[in-house]
Structures are given as C-alpha cells and as structure tokens.
Amino acid sequence: MTDVLDQTGLQQRRHLVTEIPGPRSQELMARRQATVSAGVGTTLPVFITRAGGGVLEDVDGNTLIDLGSGIAVTSVGNAAPRVVEAVQAQVADFTHTCFMVTPYEGYVAVCEALAELTPGDHAKKSALFNSGSEAVENAVKIARHATGRQAVVVFDHAYHGRTNLTMALTAKNMPYKHRFGPFAGEVYRVPMSYPFRDGLSGPDAAVRAISQIEVQVGAGNTAAVLIEPLQGEGGFIEPAPGFLTAISEWCTANGVVFIADEIQSGFCRTGAWFGVDAEGVVPDLVTTAKGMAGGLPLAAVTGRAEIMDAVHPGGLGGTYGGNPVACAAALGAIETMRAEDLVGAARGIGEVMLPRLRTLAERFPAIGDVRGRGAMIAVELVRPGTTEPDAALTGAVAKACHARGVVVLTAGSYGNVLRFLPPLVIGRDLLEEALDVIEEAFAEVTGS
C-alpha cells in the first residue's frame, strides 16, 4: 500500500514516525497556547503540513488517516485537483469585488448549480454567505420576512451554529451556549425522532412534535420549522422513516416554511446529494456549506423563488458572501462530485463501515447503536445492556484512535457518540485499516 498516491501526490498510508503529537507539534502547540484564545478548542494537537485523499501529514512527518474531513468539509478530498486549479485561476484574476457592488459570473454559476442539485423541480433562487451559521441565520430571516410570522421551531439535539441566533437554535449548553446568553427570542424546541432512545415510529414521533408545536406555539405564529435531516453534532441521529415526511407535510398544510439544514448532511455525504433525498422530501429552503466548496468558506440558502424573492433588495448579503475564490472552489468541488460519482463513493463507504461496526457491536457490548448513512456513520456508546451514555469510554476510544494515527471525532448531546466522516475519496484499504485501528482501540480501552 505504500506506493498508493492520491492525486495530490501524497502517499496514502498511515505511518507514524514519532509519538502523537510529535515534538514539532508540541512546540507549535506551546506557541498556540501563548497566542490563541483558550476558547478555541483542539481535538487532536498535531499540526498539519499537507493533506489529500484520506490522509493528513503532520509537521513531524507522520501521516494519519482522516475520518473527520475537517468536520465534514473536505468531501472531495483535501487540495482536490479541480478545486486547486479553479482557485489558482480565480485568485490570479481577481480576489474580491463584493458581489453586491459589482457582480461576477462564479456567484451566479454556483446559484445555478444549487438550483439544479437541491431537491424539487420548482423555480429556485439562492443567496450566498460565508459560514453555515450565517446561512442558517439568513434562512430564518427570509422565512420570517416571507411569512410575516416570528416563531421558529427547532429540535432536541439540534446544532445550527455558534452566532447569537444560531446558539438559540442549537440545543446543547456545553460548550456551545454556556454563559453566552441572553439568546434570541421566538425559538421553540420540540422532541426529535431518536429511534435508539424513544423507540417511536417516524409518524408517531412526528405527532408528538407537531402536537407540541400546536399547543405551545400555534401554527399561525410559526414562520419556520428548521431541521437537520440527519443530525450532526447532536450525535448523527437519523429520524425514524416517515418523520421528515410528516413534519414537512404539516408545514405545507399550515403555511410554515420547512427549512432543511443540510450543512453537514448535504453534498453527497449521506450517499445522496442531500439528506432529505432518503425520504423524497422537498424542503422550502435548504441551507448548505461545509462540503460544498472543498474547504473554502462558502454557504448558501436555496429555496422557492417566491420565498427567496420576498425580501426587499439590500435585505440580504454581506461583504464577503459568495467570494469569487470560494465560488470557484465550489464549482471545482461540484464538478469533482459529478465526475467521480461521490454519491456512489459515499454509499460504498457505508457499505464497508456499517457491517464492520455491527460486528464490532457484537464483540463490544458498550456499542449500543450503529447508525448513519453513506459516509456519515456513528456508534453510540452506553453502559452495556442499558441506554445510559458512556462519554468517558467514548473519549478514551477516540484518544486511543488518535494515538494510533486515526483522526476520529466525537459528538452527541451526551458526548457518547463516535462519528466517522471520511473524505469521500478515501481508498478502500485505508478505510479498512482505520476500522482495524478502531477495533484495536476498543479492545485496548475496554480490556477485552
């Protein structure tokens, strides 16, 4: 396997030449601690020099297997050739004009691609922003403006960002909200479908959520229902079949804007272009970011033309939203997704990972649930035979993976979910090796 190179020329192998983190990374970490706010966390303190395919190379010469994709961003691979080429060409031509001052074609081309790729064949329009949080904020602004209503309904375990409005929309207190209030008003939280914990069918879970909205908020006051079709930071919670359909139908019947937050689940990640595709649901608005632009900051709100156009000119925008370099990157990334069939690649990753993880669950009873779709896969860890979350074990397994050179992330309201988000271009051998390492990590940590 040592001679396998990705398109960036980086050897596709796990190869550790120092302890993790190595001495150079430790030196840089000391500099980081002296100058970077302690409020900015670090999952794994290795400093990266190059990355591509399924590996990250660090300053000490170690190469690690990447099962995080920079939190679901580098779906097309790091420094993906089409992205690099498009960015280099754009950056040499011009870097910024502000689309609201003098426009350029790349922004329009990204909006055309979004209209084509997002679910539904109705007329669609988009507005571009810099981050996922900003896209979500704007989706709420648009829905409120279009409906003349104020209430926004969100779900347990939701994650929508860290800005003031999105903190209110996000469920978990630590670390996202703690001591950062007061939060924005007119945000209402209802129960999510969480099959592992509530045992409800999708339609039954939807009845529970809808009756709460009707009793506590009132359909006529509700501007939008905002939902991640497959929840991300909350623990890769996949609602039971029928849940999304029932919620979206209720929205349509009540003039409520159904917003799908596809920032983590979108752009091939789940083995479909978008997470809602699993149920054939067509949202009124879709928020996207992360995987869309191959690592450059770009986000979008896309939706029904009449809703997107309800806002007065000048009501949406920002200095950098839809920056030309980020737009070029997105066009390169989308071309890569199409040319390399990354929808199929994501499915293939799920087909490798899910059976292996299910076998692991038989060996290690702390694995209470194995779930996810495509390349958005997780295991939830509990005290054996119960649903009591085991965050300590989750952290220990993640650490043992890191020490062996495999980057994994944790998630979940209870901190007890190990989540896997490999780049969709990761090689099969590397993926299998990462799964071997995960198994070793479980064996070491559980002593079995």
Ligand X SMILES: Cc1ncc(COP(=O)(O)O)c(C=O)c1O
Stretch that binds ligand X, among 40-48, 111-119, 129-137, 185-193 (CB under 6 A): 129-137
By CB under 6 A, residue 132 contacts ligand X = yes
Q: Judged by CB, which is closer to ligand X: 136, or 326?
A: 136
What b/e string do you get for 352-369 counting C-beta neighbours within 10 Å, with b at 16 or more? bbbebbeebbeebebbbb
- How far apart are alpha carbons 207 and 118 in whole angstroms? 27
Minimum separation from the CB atom of position 383 to ligand X (A): 28
Any bridge partners for residue 314, and if so which? none
Stretch that binds ligand X, among 120-128, 132-140, 239-247, 355-363 (CB under 6 A): 132-140
Minimum separation from the CB atom of position 87 to ligand X (A): 19
Residues numbered 225-254 forming contacts with ligand X, rule: CB under 6 A: 228, 232-233
By CB under 6 A, residue 321 contacts ligand X = no
By CB under 6 A, residue 133 contacts ligand X = yes
- How far apart are alpha carbons 237 and 270 in whole angstroms? 13
- How far apart are alpha carbons 154 and 168 in whole angstroms? 9
DSSP string computed for 414-433 = TS-EEEE---TT--HHHHHH
Minimum separation from the CB atom of position 375 to ligand X (A): 15
Minimum separation from the CB atom of position 272 to ligand X (A): 16
Classify residue 201 by burial, with Cβ atoms within 10 Å: 0-12, 13-18, 19+: middle
Minimum separation from the CB atom of position 287 to ligand X (A): 7
Q: Judged by CB, which is closer to ligand X: 129, or 414?
A: 129
- How far apart are alpha carbons 183 and 301 in whole angstroms? 23
Please compute Rg for the chain using Cα positions.
21
Residue number of the CB atom closest to ligand X: 132
By CB under 6 A, residue 160 contacts ligand X = yes
- How far apart are alpha carbons 8 and 283 in whole angstroms? 37
- How far apart are alpha carbons 335 and 240 in whole angstroms? 32
Q: Judged by CB, which is closer to ligand X: 228, or 433?
A: 228
Q: Judged by CB, which is closer to ligand X: 176, or 188?
A: 176
Angle at CA of residue 200, ends 226 and 195, nearest 5°:
70
Minimum separation from the CB atom of position 68 to ligand X (A): 12
Tell me if residue 66 falls in helix, strand or coil.
strand
- Measure the CA dihedral 108/109/114/117, to 10°: 150
Residues numbered 254-283 forming contacts with ligand X, rule: CB under 6 A: 261, 263-264
Minimum separation from the CB atom of position 133 to ligand X (A): 3
Residues numbered 32-91 forming contacts with ligand X, rule: CB under 6 A: 71
Mask 140-159, x = binds ligand X (CB under 6 A)?
-------------------x
Structure tokens at 304: 């029904």
What b/e string do you get for 75-101 counting C-beta neighbours within 10 Å, with b at 16 or more? bbbbbbebbbebbeebeeeeeeebbee
Question: Which residue in 136, 210, 213, 337 binds ligand X (CB under 6 A)?
Answer: 136
Adjacency order of strands within the sheet including 376-381: 367-373, 376-381, 417-420, 409-411
List the one residue out of 179, 175, 233, 181 whose CA is nearest residue 39.
Answer: 175
Q: Judged by CB, which is closer to ligand X: 161, or 283?
A: 161
Q: Judged by CB, which is closer to ligand X: 232, or 389?
A: 232
By CB under 6 A, residue 193 contacts ligand X = no
By CB under 6 A, residue 131 contacts ligand X = yes
Stretch that binds ligand X, among 104-112, 128-136, 333-341, 392-400 (CB under 6 A): 128-136
Minimum separation from the CB atom of position 9 to ligand X (A): 29
- How far apart are alpha carbons 15 and 32 in whole angstroms? 25
Q: Judged by CB, which is closer to ligand X: 233, or 433?
A: 233
Q: Judged by CB, which is closer to ligand X: 154, or 217?
A: 154
- How far apart are alpha carbons 377 and 359 in whole angstroms? 15
By CB under 6 A, residue 364 contacts ligand X = no
By CB under 6 A, residue 289 contacts ligand X = yes
Question: Which residue in 161, 291, 303, 368 binds ligand X (CB under 6 A)?
Answer: 161
Number of residues that bind ligand X (CB under 6 A): 15
Minimum separation from the CB atom of position 261 to ligand X (A): 5
Structure tokens at 394: 């989750």
Q: Judged by CB, which is closer to ligand X: 133, or 248?
A: 133
Q: Judged by CB, which is closer to ligand X: 161, or 348?
A: 161
Can you give the binding site for ligand X, defined by CB under 6 A? 71, 131-133, 136, 159-161, 228, 232-233, 261, 263-264, 289
